[in-house]
Amino acid sequence: MSDNYSLHLTQYRRIPTQVVNIGGIPVGGNHPIRIQSMTTTDTMDTEGTIAQTMKMVASGCEYVRITAPSIKEAQNLQNIRDGLHKRGIQVPLIADIHFTPNAAEIAARIVEKVRVNPGNYADKKKFETIEYTDDSYQAEIERIHKRFSPLVKICKEYGTAMRIGTNHGSLSDRILSRYGDTPNGMVESAFEFIRICEDHDFHQLVISMKSSNTQVMVQAYRLLMSRMLENGRVYPLHLGVTEAGEGEDGRIKSAMGIGTLLMDGIGDTVRVSLTEAPEFEAPVARYIVNECTGKSAYKQTHLPEIPTSLFHPYEFKRFHAKTVENFGHDQLPRVIAHPEKPLQKEVDLIPFGHAFDPIADKWNMSELGADWVYAGADIIPFMLPNGVKVMYDSQVWNLLRDQQHSFPVWSKPADWVSAYQKQAVHSRINFLFVNSQNLDEWLGIDMQDAQVVWVLDAGLHPVVYTLRHWLTCIRATGNMAPMIIRTQVLPSELGLEVTQQAAEQMTLACQTGALWIDGLADGLWVVNGNENLNRAAFGVLQAARLRMTRTEYISCPSCGRTLFDLMETTAMIRSRTEHLKGVKIGIMGCIVNGPGEMADADYGYVGSGPGIISLYRGQNMVEKAVKADEAVDKLIELIQQDGNWVEKV
């Protein structure tokens, strides 16, 4: 398997893809990375869909996707398109197709692009394991070729583009039976349909590999790009983390998955899937694109290329750093608090997840409580919560009476060498602060058996690219000490399109996401931290599936197929379950996106009819035809039955 999926791992270099024309707005090649979203209205509500589309275009959408689950919705796309044109809106429309080839063939004659999901378009999805011989498998391919070919021919005749959109959770039983629930299965699912298109000399294709799991999503896109580069035909890629959720969780997860790929040079169009009104998605997508590709420093970086052997691009394997105190490969990634102002009293730790109860004379601990506190040169005048450790600059630490319960940060290599020779360093853990000015000096020091953790601070240089290079240099010396990412969040300026809080969250996820996805880091230290950044730090670790500190909601962004108010329902479920650490709950508006696309969830709440909900344990339905007003209580009963429920404190 080739590791050739990126042009450069320490510099932003976008991979050239072939150009696909979509209604006069081309994607791929040297064209800008396009922004798109999807309507949430009933497709049969012509005026409502037109009005929402206009809002989406005003928010920055360059393409608008509309669901067409049956023939009647596909036919009504003509009325929507005509109504938009009468209002002077020429935005290209994309028909979203899942199960119905007849609807796709109608839509392809009307809109500028159709999206098909190879997992359930002319294929089977019953969650069954099927044993195939090579001959029987090939017979299935031939059957799909026959069923899919009419749509390909129509698209070719009408100049309609097509997205082959693979979803991790809706791989067909046939693909799962042969390739498993893997990125490789996702890629092969897409290529089966790509090959049919190429058999008809049809190449106006855009490809996607979506998952709600950021690790799987990144691995699948990388593998797809590697395969396309090997084959010599590189189609544009549509990036997205499916069912990302709402609020900060949805933004952080989207920024991590999409941002990691953009920094690899992968991606030509972006859709952020939030459980919110669709006009809020485009500004978030545009912010992520700008954060990852728009900064001049990313393009002007001249770091040498690194070998991909530093990490595993197509599967998650955390780097085997040795264990030092509570850092290392067998420890949870740690969060280091760095207050903007010196800590003077207990209340100053509230933004970092620790609240002191003066009446009970005890600390109330939180899952979002920082593990370490950096105090610099300022002595903390009160006792920290049990288990929370403090770092001081080495000059201050040297003067402390109690050096065993505080730990030094060494910023000058010469000071470290002198102290080490005198056995005046900490016996358990020492933090070595590395920046662009002292890296070479640190690399020249023989660490022997010293108990050290690297603190890598890229400054104003691109964090992902710079730290990949530095880590390569450090590991080349044989040093396997853990690594902390130290960064200051400086959000991009995009006016008022996203809030300052959202900008900080997404910037942190974009800056550091690839390092977590690739298993390279052991701690996260945000300079001049605050409550928002502390929450964001834990959110980043959860989005990377490395440290689960809260409930995860895998909720679809709603569309015309949705059978209940997704935003209202998600908020209701969240209000009653958000205290459940590490439990993953899928909230799906319809049966199309239900059992499959919540593949990563522990429990599922799926619309199966008007006012009717089906409940799932994993991908297995355990309650059907539950009335909507009883469904949340039933969901909680299911979680209780499994022993995963705790009462809210």
pLDDT in tens, 189-214: 999 999 999 999 999 999 999 998 99
For the chain, the first-to-last Cα distance in angstroms comes to 50
Number of structural domains found in the chain: 3
Do the domain assignments include residue 149?
A: yes
pLDDT score recorded for residue 426: 96
Residues paired with 25 in a beta bridge: 22
pLDDT score recorded for residue 595: 59
Q: What is the CATH number of the domain that holds 635?
A: 3.30.413.10
Q: Are both 345 and 278 inside the same structural domain?
A: no
Q: Are both 409 and 505 inside the same structural domain?
A: yes
**Final residue of a domain: which of 543, 573, 604?**
543
Q: Are both 538 and 556 inside the same structural domain?
A: no
What's the whole-number mean pLDDT along residues 348-355? 95
Q: Are both 437 and 523 inside the same structural domain?
A: yes
C-alpha 620: how far from its chain's center?
25
Q: Residue 500 and residue 519: Cα distance in Å, rounded?
A: 29
Q: Are both 430 and 574 inside the same structural domain?
A: no
Q: Rg of the chain's alpha carbons, rounded to an integer?
A: 26
What's the whole-number mean pLDDT along residues 24-29? 98
pLDDT tens sequence across 53-89 = 999 999 999 999 999 999 999 999 999 999 999 999 9
pLDDT tens sequence across 238-274 = 999 987 677 899 999 999 999 999 999 999 999 999 8
Q: What share of the chain is helix, strand, coil (3-state, %, to 5)?
A: 40, 20, 45
**Final residue of a domain: which of 487, 521, 543?**
543
Q: How confident is the model at residue 2 (pLDDT cuts 50, 70, 90)?
A: low
Q: Are 150 and 101 in contact (CB under 8 A)?
A: yes
Q: Are both 356 and 436 inside the same structural domain?
A: yes
What's the whole-number mean pLDDT along residues 507-533? 96
Q: Count Cα neighbours of 6 within 13 Å in the Cβ-side half-sphere.
A: 24
Do the domain assignments include residue 646?
A: no
135: left (phi over 0), alpha (psi -120 to 50) or beta: alpha
Instruction: Look at strands 620-627 and 612-617 and give their pairing.
Output: antiparallel
Q: Residue 616 and residue 601: Cα distance in Å, rounded?
A: 9
Q: Residue 453 and residue 428: Cα distance in Å, rounded?
A: 10
Q: Which two tokens stand for residue 288?
A: 């992520």
Query: Mean of the per-residue pLDDT values for the chain?
Result: 91
Do the domain assignments include residue 648?
A: no
Q: Are both 236 and 368 inside the same structural domain?
A: no
The SS3 assignment for 176 reads: helix
The DSSP symbol for 493 reads: -
DSSP secondary structure, 37-71, as one string:
EE--S-TT-HHHHHHHHHHHHHHT-SEEEEE--SH
Do the domain assignments include residue 2?
A: no
Q: Which amino acid is at 9?
A: L
Q: How confident is the model at residue 1 (pLDDT cuts 50, 70, 90)?
A: very low
pLDDT score recorded for residue 628: 86
Q: Are both 502 and 579 inside the same structural domain?
A: no
Q: How confident is the model at residue 470 (pLDDT cuts 50, 70, 90)?
A: very high
Q: Which amino acid is at 594?
A: G
Do the domain assignments include residue 161?
A: yes
Q: What is the CATH number of the domain that holds 325?
A: 3.20.20
Nearest of 594, 589, 600 to residue 212 by alpha carbon: 600
C-alpha distance from residue 210 to each of 171, 186, 394, 586 (Å): 11, 9, 47, 16
Do the domain assignments include residue 294?
A: no
Give the list of residues 6+ apart from residue 204 with CB closer than 8 angstroms, or none: 20, 21, 155, 156, 159, 160, 161, 162
- Burial profile 26-45: b = 16 or more Cβ within 10 angstroms, e = fewer: bbbeeeebbbbbbbbbbbee
Q: Residue 302 and residue 241: Cα distance in Å, rounded?
A: 30
Q: Are both 560 and 611 inside the same structural domain?
A: yes
Q: What is the CATH number of the domain that holds 110?
A: 3.20.20.20
Q: Are both 353 and 472 inside the same structural domain?
A: yes
Domain that holds residue 613: 552-641
Q: Are both 100 and 207 inside the same structural domain?
A: yes
pLDDT score recorded for residue 14: 95
Q: Are both 163 and 52 inside the same structural domain?
A: yes
